[in-house]
Structure formats: C-alpha cells, structure tokens
Amino acid sequence: MRNNSADLLHCSEIQQNLRLYCASRSAISSGWSRRNLRLSFGSSIGGSGAIAPNAGCPMPNGQVWRSMLSRIWSYWLLCVAFWLLAIAPASASVLLRVAIIDGASQVKIASSTPAVVRDGAGRTLGEIANQTSYSVQSRGAQLAMGRWQTSQFWIEPKNGGYVYIGDRWYRGRTHLVASNNTLSAINVVDIEQYLYSVLGAEMDSRWPQEALKTQAVAARTYALYHRERRRSNIYDLGDSQSWQVYKGIETEASSTYAAVEATNGQVLTYNGELIEAVFHSSSGGHTENVEDIWQDPRPYLRGVPDYDAGTPVFQWTKTFSTAELSGLISGVGNIANLKPERTTQTGRIITMRAIGDAGERVISGDDLRYLLDLRSSRFSVQTNNSNFVINGFGFGHGVGMSQWGAYNLARRGANYQQILLHYYQNANLAIIQVD
C-alpha cells in the first residue's frame, strides 16, 4: 500500500507485504512467517515433486516409479492445484531494486521521455529532457547533476518511458544514492518486467516455452528470496552472473513476455517459505546435493539425474602445457601432478592437490576452476607427454535446475511444472499476492 506523504513515496512502494497462495499438502494456515507471507489455500501437487516427465522423456534405468494409478492421481491433483492458482486474484506490483552500478565515481543517465527529478524526500527538483545524456557525479556525501546537488536522486520517466543507466536502457525508474564517497545507480522495476529481461539473458529466447517458463518461476523465486533477505539497505540484488543476469530491454523478446505472463506471480516454496531457487547451465549428467558444494543441506536442493546429454556444454576438454599450468598455479614450481583429494559422488572436485618440483598445495575445486578458466569443477586430469588434458562435464556449479536439462525435457514434452518439481525436490508451486 502506498503512503500519501511525499517523504515516504518511494520507500513505501518497495516495503510491500507479500501474501502467498500456495498449492501444497499443507492445511490452510496464516501468520506463519515473520515476513507476513501466508498460505491461503492448500491442495496437493504431487508431494515430493518427483513428477515423471511425459512419454518420450525416459528416466534412468533402475529408478523406481510409482504405479500408473498413482501417476494419474498426482497429475489430476496437479491440474486441480493449477486451476486454483488460475482463479486466484491477480497479483499486484512487486518492486525490485536492482543495482546496475555500485561504487562508481560517476554515471551517465537519461530517459526516453521527459522525466521528473526528485530528491530522496520525494520533493520535485525539476525535469530532464528526453533522449539527453546527463552525468551524475559523486562529491563526498552528495551527488551532483547539473545545477542540482543532493544525497539522492530519483529519475521518473513520464508516459511509461525507459531509463538509461551506464550503457543500457531499462524499464522502471532510476534511484541514485551517495554512499562512502561513491555512488550507486539502482533500477527500481516491477518484478514481472524485470523477468522479461532476465529470461532473455539467462536463456536463449528461442528455446521452448516450457523451458522459458521454468526459468521465469525459478528467477522470480530467486529474486524474491533475496529481496526478503536484503544484504544492502539500498538494493535487493545485482545484475551480474553472481546474482542472475539482467540487461534491461535489450534481452526482452515476445517469447520472454509470454513465459513471464503465463507464470505470473508463481514461485517455489518449501514449508511455506520461498526457496533459494539457484540454477546453472548444465550439470554434466547429474546435479549435486547443495551441502557438497556450498552450505548446509536444503531438502529442495538434492542431486537428481539431469537430462543435458548431447547439449553444447555437456562435455568438454581443455589442454595445458606444463609451463602454462605451472604459471597459473603458483607456489609449487613446475607442476608434476594434479591429484583429487575430495570429490562429490558425481566426481566434482572439492579439493585438489597440486604437486610440483618446489612443493605442494591444496586448492579448492572452485578456485581451480577459476584459475584455469574451466566451465565447471566436474573434471578429471590426464597427462599426455608434457601436456595436462582436462576432461570435464557441464557448465556451472551443478546445484538446482539445469537450464540445458530443462531445454531437453521441454523438447521431449515435459511441462514446466514437471521440470521444476524434478530439479527442486520436495518443493511446491505457489502464487504471491501483495497485501
């Protein structure tokens, strides 16, 4: 709900309470979260989420599946749940604060239409012309833009215009904040419009709609999860691969609009809480249990068979000479051997011992991946004369949804609900609402 006082105009739009309409086995409950998210009605969608893909999408040999009657029952319940989701009230706007530039001394901004300029208290300072570039500079605890100087600027385009920040155009508004003798440029944007861009940046917009829908739900959940756990007072998440890639209107397409609108407001939950819906490009045949890669166990981030075989990043090879490898891995002299010390069950490297003629050192799989610029830490090393041949699988950390796996499953006839509940075990689908 928006507060009418000018000094709370922007803050109130961001500090919105969310309400969750959830399809799950749970009975209807309320007041279950300190963030005022609550379940409004319940219905099973298959419990564990292990819904087998449609015919033409075979699962691995040896895996035990429910009887045909059980699968028909689960599918019927899934249909009921999503009918309930479909008749739920349309979700109101949820705003995200996305840091486009952080810690800079200056930034170029513009608007595609005439735009109102306000200060941090919501007072109107004036207007800027359309299609005209302006430089905003950091001056200690203040920002300077032309004749104006204040600690914060808001740039608000008229008539649905776009804003320009740095080198790209974006929907929404621009919020400029002075911080620690630098500035941050933040795009404040409706989450559904934000997703138009994220889908095209994280997946090929020409991919099947069911794959794009999986990305829409996962990315929406990921963004809201981090919005509720803000690391910064001035923004919710960034725009890079460290978060999820966001490039403004340049990565939007008609297919991304369709996928976002078809899944409007849908998120993934576990025990009534938003999950951390991480994803990656390709696991190389099997995803990972999260505790083997990062942190404590999460019941929805479990290793499952992947369906990424035959994709461009499923398998790869990279070769280094002894001299090249020794130059990249310091502290051991000339490399003689790379010996895995700890691996996951799938063979992903947790720690590797580098042995050279001047000593040894233990390197984490992630550090070694970045040192050698590898696609993943799931690899083996062979020596061939004076060369080291690295044979690897997949691209990314291997936790959560595999994007190429989703692509293959969608091509074989699986729908986005089935794909999501395969990669996010024990999760449920829900719809968010704004109080």
Q: Locate 209 and state its tokens.
A: 């709609």
Q: What is the pLDDT of residue 47?
A: 34
Q: What is the pLDDT of residue 20?
A: 56
Bridge partners (DSSP) of residue 432 are 20
Higher pLDDT, 54 or 291: 291
Judge whether 272 and 29 are in contact, CB under 8 Å. Answer: yes
Pairing of strands 335-343, 401-402: unpaired
Q: Model confidence over 277-317: pLDDT tens digits?
A: 999 999 999 999 999 999 789 999 999 999 999 999 999 99
Percentage, residues of the chain above pLDDT 70: 79
State how far the Cα of 400 lies from the Cα of 282, in Å rounded to an integer. Answer: 10
Q: Model confidence over 139-187: pLDDT tens digits?
A: 999 999 999 999 999 999 999 999 999 999 999 999 999 988 999 999 9
Q: What is the chain's Cα-based Rg? A: 24
Q: What is the pLDDT of residue 92?
A: 52
Q: What is the pLDDT of residue 231?
A: 72
Q: How confident is the model at residue 229 (pLDDT cuts 50, 70, 90)?
A: confident
Contacts 24+ apart (CB under 8 A), 370-373: 371/328, 371/329, 372/318, 372/320, 372/325, 372/328
Judge whether 245 and 200 are in contact, CB under 8 Å. Answer: no
- Please tell me the pTM assigned to this model: 0.81
46-71 mean pLDDT: 37
101-117 mean pLDDT: 97
